Amino acid sequence: MLGWSRFIPFGALFRRADVFVTNGGFGATQQALACGIPVVVAGATDDKPSVAARVAARGVGVELGTATPEPARIKDAVLGLLLDQATRTRVAVLAQEYHDHDAVAEVEQLADLF
């Protein structure tokens, strides 16, 4: 699936995606990773460089280091992720961490401290 849209129904998209190319927005990047999808990040504003750096540091995707990558760099990054089993394994482990994490229980425990 390849295309451009003003609105993206991530729930439907991520059920079918093998790789997610993003500008590095926090929410969409986290949703993709939680679904076990490696990401290619190309963004340079707001929190996007920070998100991209975390993706690279965790080894769960490719940071392109620019908001305007050449199409060939995007293609190479996508193809690389499709073939990189080690990255796919790290993404699967991270996705399991997301699913095992009970944020509501943590908030309740923290609230009890105060």
Distance of CA 25 to the CA centre of its chain: 9
Which candidate, 78, 32, 23, places its Cα nearest to that of 52?
Answer: 23
Q: Strand locations in 23-77, DSSP E?
A: 39-41, 61-63
37-95 residue pLDDT tens = 999 999 889 999 999 999 999 999 999 999 999 999 999 999 999 999 999 999 999 99
Q: What are phi and psi of 22, to 5 degrees?
A: -140, 160
Give the model's pLDDT for residue 11: 83
What is the architecture, at CATH level 2, of domain 12-112?
A: 3-Layer(aba) Sandwich (3.40)
More confident residue, 23 or 1: 23
Q: How many CA atoms lie within 13 A of 47 on its CB side?
A: 9
Band of pLDDT at residue 113, cut at 50, 70 and 90 = confident
The full set of domain ranges for the chain reads 12-112
